[in-house]
Amino acid sequence: MTENTVINLKNVDVFQQKHLVLSNVNLNIDKGEFVFLIGQTGSGKSSLLKIIYGDLHIGNGDGQIAGFDLKKLGNKEVPFLRRKLGIVFQDFQLLTDRTVEKNLDFVLKATGWTDQNLISERIKDVLEKVGLRSKIKKMPHELSGGEQQRVVIARALLNNPEIILADEPTGNLDPDTSEEIVMLLKQISQSGTAVLMATHDYHIIRTFPSRIIKCESGVIHEDAQIV
């Protein structure tokens, strides 16, 4: 494990309730890496992501995520861990009753930002990064699916995370829009934020060749191949 390591799991057993989902997980992801996470439904992908963002406690083994020790992670520390992570889901989970700007403003205030000038600057900055600066005053329903997912990515970037966890981020999008979203996530990884993207879309994996981690038969395979 180096100072560039943002995810380090050693011999970790992953349980859902008392059911062993993945055993003896070893995983290392460094700053700026872009990694695909694949596997059939029920293979443990979501459970692995939940371990990383502190929703499931690890059984045996050791885990370090963005400087947090998962063995010692109490409920009070989970929000601080999550500030180091950006999470992007398939269903956008935007607040439908407020503008793009107010969606992002809500998250910053919820995570401790108080200076309104800094908040406004940060919102403009992340919207610029995802190519949506002109949509700042729009309501979510006025945006296309791809634009809504870009807002979600902007939201994930607000607190300068070390890792973005993207769980099927293209699942509700058409093929061209899916490629645009993955290109955006790739660019983000090139600026130093690691991206771990769970996907079923083999076309995307072939179009953007990257390291692949596969959940299968209760174990994970690092550096897997697809045929």
pLDDT band of residue 107 (cuts 50, 70, 90) is very high
Q: How far apart are the first and last CA of the chain?
A: 30
Residue 156 DSSP symbol: H
pTM: 0.92
**Can you spell out the DSSP letters for 65-133?**
ETTEEGGG--TTTHHHHHHTEEEEESS----TTS-HHHHHHHHHHHTT---HHHHHHHHHHHHHHTT-G
User: How confident is the model over 171-196, as a mean pLDDT?
Assistant: 94
CATH topology of domain 5-221: Rossmann fold (3.40.50)
Task: Say how far apart CA 106 and CA 199 lie, in whole Å.
Answer: 29
* Residue-wise pLDDT tens digits, 111-154: 899 999 999 999 999 999 999 999 999 999 999 999 999 999 99
pLDDT per residue as tens digits for the range 195-216? 999 998 999 999 999 999 999 9
Residue 105: which pLDDT band, with cuts at 50, 70 and 90? very high
